Amino acid sequence: MRRDLVLAALALVALVAVSLLGRQPETPKSATRASTDFNGGGYHAWYDLMAREGVHVARFRRHHDALANSGIDTLVMAFPEQGSFWNAAELDALRGWVRGGGRLVDIGLTPSTSHDSDKDEVAFLEEHRTSSSALHGSWTNLVSRLPERGADRLVPAPHKKFETLIGDKAGALAIRHRYGRGEVIGLASAAMFENR
């Protein structure tokens, strides 16, 4: 009888172990753009590429208030296609950090907040017909080709100017502008850096 109980317990443990080992995490249904995501819509490959090329990379997982004393000089920011944890306090802290000398690489669409003010915006995303025209701008010698450009282009806000780093006939794909003592590099499409 005791031997039967031990065998039954071992069989139960084996069933539980097999069921736990067989579970695979569910693939996200939309692009997360997370540097930890190996799926098509993640940024893990880009994160690894930067590290392999000698760029010091680290994941920033704190409120943007923490940027002021973090020692970070460049922040790459890309929001997921669906859902985000972003509010007016985060936006204000981020803007303060950039004005103080930080460099922001702002990729794709940034969700709006209750503190959004067009007076602070230098560029907006607009949808245009996609273009396969020749690239122009100061960074075009760094890009051999850009086959998937998407329909979004960066356009200047009224009475604002930016430097076009990469663009085509449809508009700007990558821009740069000063913001206080800091700098913003804006990229129209967040899809360009996804694992896929």
The full DSSP string for 109-171 is: PPPP-TT--TTT-SEEEEE-----SPPBSTTGGG-S--S---SEEEEEPTT---EEEEEETTE
Position 116 scores a pLDDT of 67
Position 137 scores a pLDDT of 94
Position 36 scores a pLDDT of 87
Position 19 scores a pLDDT of 55
Position 112 scores a pLDDT of 81
Pairing outcome for strands 123-127 and 152-156: antiparallel
CA gap 113, 139 in Å, rounded: 31
Position 16 scores a pLDDT of 53
CA gap 173, 165 in Å, rounded: 8
Amino acid of residue 181: R
CA gap 48, 82 in Å, rounded: 24
Residue at token pair 């097999």: 18
pLDDT less than 50: residues of the chain: none
CA gap 125, 14 in Å, rounded: 55
CA torsion sign for 128, 133, 138, 142 is positive
Position 148 scores a pLDDT of 81
